[in-house]
């Protein structure tokens, strides 16, 4: 691990690390494309993607699995990036994209839409509206006195999340049995709803570029607002920007796939353990790792109990938790 | 040049006036020590000069320009602060932490260069932390963490140095060692220093001028030899003070 942890210079080292994680994402995608009810060898996949035959395997890959893999990568990347940003914003390593109630707001609105009989893409839009309303509420309520205070923001978000949680329970209790299964997938996260939505790819790319541009400032803000300001960062402006970007990422991810847990919490930490706390490298590595983890989780969710599909949130937790604990433990040992 | 000029400054926190109608001019190569009882507003005063909290009236000029006209980054090139305490939310290495001091000198989009790393390594040597460069700061002792903060400020290399209780957590050796180092750097930068201290004898040893914050309306400023005496200190701390002379140097102890 010590190889990865050194002062970062814009050299071959940086690109080597990025290259390794791009490779991991690529191999994961190949693996995920090959898994399913019709097994296809990973070696055949590049050829199938490039050809334009009318074969059934070609159709399966191109029309069914590929959009799902891309959408998985985008959602995983967005959640991981939102996690990185939230942790800096709230100066709290336990912060994750959903901590400010964004996903609960989205879920409550999505479930409400399902209960009143709306279906299709409108449920997703309803979720986005719920997320946006929550973002605004947290911002307004915690920023009332003009001064941003991470602790008050955190508490406001957590309490709002609890409130939305009650709404969700209420909606679950009054809805019909036939609707409950679909609702559960919303609450646990599911990529099968999502056809590949170009909006999420655009949001991800723009946010990653933006965050790379402010990576040094993020490093300083992680030290604390006063330290950052005294070292030359306009801390207030940066705080609002981070809040906006992380909310946009989370809302887009939730709209696409429901609330998928653990990625946003575990991936930034995992990346921090591997490459260190410098956001210049932490951000691209988190995005790549988040995307990879969600792709492989989704592939397993599709196949592990086939033909039954599981909510992908179950798999992200099942994979993420042990990986994280093992790595955390091994780092602790080398530290001593 | 007048590095720092404060005109009829009013400072307050909710429910309490800290400073009323205060004036001060700090020139190159002056070293000001700030004394005062707990909670009188010494830290708040330092923060105000750094633009970290609002002033209620008056004005602050830095290098003969209004404080408000500086961007955060241009101010950080001229002025730096050592905080009383540091809370680290994330485990980062000593190297990464000290590197933060280079930020005001870097262009946006640029990454740390080999030169930046050399500067940081040199200063880590000075604070005797070379062997801990890749340790996480949350595994350091209080005194070691303090030296990391001192190193960060030296890397920032401002002209106006604000130190909030610089000797916190440091043992006797490092108290002197770090203050010697900081003062050498202040002189090298041809700048000025303002530091909050609770040890009068350290103030006498290192400072040319002193600010005694007795209450919001009564702040005594002047040369150390003029304002640091037994009477003033007894009033300042509301506590009896003993005076001992050692080789013509006056020393003060609580009675």
Q: Looking at the predicted structure, is the pLDDT value of residue A248 above 60?
A: yes
Range of the domain at B154: 2-254
**Residue A250 lies inside a defined structural domain of this protein:** yes
Structure confidence at residue A300 (pLDDT)? 92
Percent of chain A with pLDDT over 70: 92
End-to-end CA distance of chain B: 41
Whole-number Å distance between alpha carbons of B95 and B54: 33
Report CB contact under 8 Å: B93, A235. Answer: no
Among A45-49, B66-70, B153-157, B218-222, where is mean pLDDT lowest?
A45-49
Residue A276 with chain B: CB contacts under 8 Å? 92-93, 96
Phi, psi angles (nearest 5°) of residue A251: -60, -40
Q: Supply the range of the domain harboring residue A40.
A: 12-335
- Distance, in Å, from the CA atom of A272 to the CA atom of A87, rounded to the nearest integer, reads 12
Q: What percent of chain B has pLDDT over 90?
A: 80
Q: What is the CATH number of the domain that holds A234?
A: 1.10.3470.10
Count up the domains in chain B and report the number. 1
Contact A232 B73 (CB under 8 A): yes
What's the number of CA atoms in the CB half-sphere (13 Å) around residue A129?
12
Which residues have CB under 8 Å from A311's CB, separation 6+?
A184, A185, A187, A188, A189, A190, A258, A301
- Judged against a pLDDT cut of 80, whether residue B196 lies above it is answered with yes
Neighbours of A2 (CB within 10 A): 7
Inspect the interface and report whether the beta carbons of A224 and B86 lie closer than 8 Å.
Answer: yes
| Tokens matching residue B143 | 């005194």
Give the residue-averaged pLDDT of A236-253.
90
Interface A:B, Cβ pairs < 8 A: 96
3-state SS class at A14: helix
Q: Quick check: helix, strand or coil at residue B36?
A: coil
Per-residue pLDDT tens over the stretch A119-151: 778 888 898 899 889 988 988 888 755 567 888
Q: Which two tokens stand for residue A54?
A: 């009318």
Q: B37 near B50, Cβ under 8 Å? A: no
pLDDT at residue A91 above 50?
yes
> For residue A307, is the peptide bond before it cis, meaning its omega torsion is within 30 degrees of 0?
yes
pLDDT mean over B210-239:
95
- From chain A, the residues in CB contact with B80 under 8 A are 230-231
- Does B223 or A138 have the greater pLDDT score? B223
Each residue's pLDDT tens digit, B138-153:
899 999 999 999 999 9
Token couple for A208: 């990653």
Q: Cβ of A220 and B81 within 8 Å?
A: no
What is residue A29's predicted lDDT score, i.e. its pLDDT?
94
Check if A216 contacts B (Cβ < 8 Å): yes
Evaluate if residue B59 carries a pLDDT over 90: yes
Q: Does B114 touch chain A (CB under 8 A)?
A: yes
Q: Which of A2-6, A107-111, A292-296, B18-22 has the lowest mean pLDDT?
A: A2-6
The percentage of residues in chain A with a pLDDT greater than 90, rounded to a whole number, is 36
Distance CA A199, CA A203 (A): 6
| pLDDT in the model for residue A1 | 40
Which chain A residue lies closest to B157 (C-alpha atoms)? A231
CB A106 within 8 A of CB A98: no
DSSP codes, B133-163? TTSBGGGS-HHHHHHHHHHHHHHH--SEEEE
Distance CA A40, CA A33 (A): 8
Domain CATH for B132: 3.40.50.300
ipTM over 0.95: no
Nearest chain B residue to A220 by CA distance is B100
- Give me the mean pLDDT over the A141-165 stretch: 82
CB contact under 8 A, B89 and A9: no
In whole angstroms, give the CA distance from residue A243 to residue A85: 8
Query: How many Å lie between the alpha carbon of B133 and the closest alpha carbon of chain A?
Result: 10
Q: Give the mean model confidence (pLDDT) for residues B76-94.
A: 91
Position A39 pLDDT exceeds 90 = no
Q: Is A314 on the interface with B (CB under 8 A)?
A: no
What's the rounded Cα separation, in Å, for the pair A113 and A285? 36
**Selected residue with higher pLDDT from A258 and B141:** B141
pTM of the model: 0.90
pLDDT bracket for residue B88 (50, 70, 90): confident
pLDDT at A2 over 50: no
pLDDT at A75: 94
A170 or A59: which leads in pLDDT: A170
Alpha carbon of A267 to those of A50, A80, A82, A187: distances in Å?
A: 32, 6, 10, 20
Residue A296's pLDDT band, with cuts at 50, 70 and 90, is: very high
Helix (H, G, I), strand (E, B) or coil at A88: helix
Bridge partners, residue A243, by sequence: none
| β B65-66/B241-246 pair status | unpaired
**Residue A233 confidence (pLDDT):** 94
Q: How far is A86 from chain B (nearest CA, A)?
A: 13
Nearest to A102 by CA among A270, A313, A298, A261: A261
Is residue B254 less than 8 Å (CB to CB) from chain A? Answer: no
Number of C-alpha atoms within 13 angstroms, CB side, residue B49?
A: 31
How many whole angstroms separate alpha carbon A16 and alpha carbon A20? 6
* H runs (alpha helix) in chain A: 12-34, 45-50, 56-59, 66-89, 102-115, 121-142, 150-174, 177-188, 198-213, 215-221, 225-230, 235-257, 263-275, 279-303, 312-335
DSSP assignment of A143-183 equals TTTSS--HHHHHHHHHHHHHHHHHHHHHHHHHS-HHHHHHH
Q: How far apart are CA B131 and CA B124, in angstroms?
A: 9
Residue B67 has what DSSP assignment?
A: G
Arithmetic mean of pLDDT, A206-235: 93
> Strand, helix or coil at B81?
strand
Residue A6 located in a structural domain: no
Whole-number pLDDT of residue A180: 85
The predicted structure's pLDDT at residue B113: 80
pLDDT at A53 over 80: no
Chain A residues within 8 A of B97 when measuring between CB atoms: 223
From the CA atom positions of chain A, what is the Rg in Å?
A: 20
pLDDT single digits (tens) A301-326: 888 887 888 888 888 888 888 887 88
Mean pLDDT (chain B, rounded): 93
Give the residue-averaged pLDDT of B245-255. Answer: 88
Scanning A36-65 for CB atoms below 8 A from B yields none
A218 touches A211 (CB < 8 A): yes
- Residues B55-66 have a mean pLDDT of 94
Whether A235 has a pLDDT exceeding 80, the answer reads yes
How many separate domains does chain A show?
1
pLDDT at A193: 64
User: Looking up tokens 């995307």, which residue turns up?
Assistant: A291
Strands B57-62 and B2-13: antiparallel
């Amino acid at each position: 691990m010590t190889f990865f942890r050194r002062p970062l210079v814009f050299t071959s080292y940086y690109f080597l690390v990025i290259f390794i994680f791009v490779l991991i994402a690529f191999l994961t995608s190949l693996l995920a494309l090959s898994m399913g009810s019709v097994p296809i060898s990973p070696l055949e996949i590049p050829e199938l993607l490039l050809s334009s035959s009318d074969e059934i395997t070609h159709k399966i890959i191109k029309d069914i699995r590929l959009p799902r893999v891309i959408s998985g990568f985008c959602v995983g990347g967005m959640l991981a990036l939102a996690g990185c940003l939230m942790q800096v914003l709230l100066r709290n390593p336990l912060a994750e994209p959903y901590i400010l109630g964004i996903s609960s707001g989205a879920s409550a609105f999505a479930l409400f839409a399902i209960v009143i009989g709306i279906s299709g893409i409108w449920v997703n839009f309803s979720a986005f509206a719920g997320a946006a309303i929550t973002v605004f509420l947290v911002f307004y309520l915690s920023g009332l006195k003009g001064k941003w205070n991470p602790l008050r923001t955190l508490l406001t978000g957590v309490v709002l999340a609890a409130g939305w949680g009650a709404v969700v329970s209420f909606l679950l209790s009054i809805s019909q049995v036939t609707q409950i299964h679909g609702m559960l997938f919303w609450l646990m996260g599911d990529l099968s709803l999502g056809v590949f939505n170009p909006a999420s790819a655009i949001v991800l790319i723009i946010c990653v570029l933006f965050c790379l541009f402010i990576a040094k400032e993020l490093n300083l803000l992680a030290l604390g607002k006063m330290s950052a300001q005294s070292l030359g960062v306009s801390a207030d402006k940066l705080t609002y920007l981070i809040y906006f970007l992380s909310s946009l990422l989370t809302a887009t991810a939730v709209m696409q796939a429901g609330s998928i847990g653990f990625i946003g919490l575990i991936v930034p930490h995992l990346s921090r353990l591997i490459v260190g706390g410098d956001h210049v490298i932490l951000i691209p590595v988190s995005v790549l790792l988040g995307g990879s983890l969600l792709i492989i989780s989704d592939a397993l969710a599709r196949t592990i109990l086939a033909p039954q599909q599981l909510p992908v949130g179950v798999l992200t937790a099942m994979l993420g938790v042990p990986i994280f604990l093992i790595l955390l433990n091994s780092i602790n040992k080398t530290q001593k | 040049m007048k590095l720092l000029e404060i005109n009829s400054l009013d400072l307050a926190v909710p429910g309490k006036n800290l400073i009323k109608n205060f004036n001060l001019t700090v020139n190159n190569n002056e070293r000001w020590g700030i004394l005062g009882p707990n909670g009188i507003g010494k830290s708040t005063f330092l923060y105000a000069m750094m633009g970290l909290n609002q002033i209620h009236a008056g004005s602050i000029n830095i290098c003969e320009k209004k404080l408000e006209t500086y961007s955060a980054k241009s101010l950080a090139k001229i002025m730096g602060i050592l905080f009383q305490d540091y809370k680290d939310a994330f485990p980062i290495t000593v190297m990464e932490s000290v590197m933060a001091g280079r930020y005001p000198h870097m262009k946006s989009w640029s990454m740390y260069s080999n030169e930046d790393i050399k500067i940081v390594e040199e200063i880590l040597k000075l604070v005797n932390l070379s062997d801990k460069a890749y340790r996480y700061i949350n595994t350091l002792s209080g005194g070691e963490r303090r030296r990391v903060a001192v190193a960060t400020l030296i890397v920032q290399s401002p002209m106006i140095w604000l130190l909030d209780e610089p000797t916190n957590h440091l043992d006797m050796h490092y108290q002197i060692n770090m203050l010697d180092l900081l003062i050498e750097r202040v002189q090298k930068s041809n700048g000025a220093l303002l530091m909050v201290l609770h040890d009068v004898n350290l103030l006498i040893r290192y400072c040319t001028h002193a600010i005694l914050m007795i209450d919001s309306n009564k702040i005594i400023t002047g040369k150390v030899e003029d304002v640091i005496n037994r009477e003033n200190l007894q009033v300042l701390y509301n506590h009896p003070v003993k005076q001992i002379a050692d080789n013509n140097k006056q020393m003060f102890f609580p009675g």
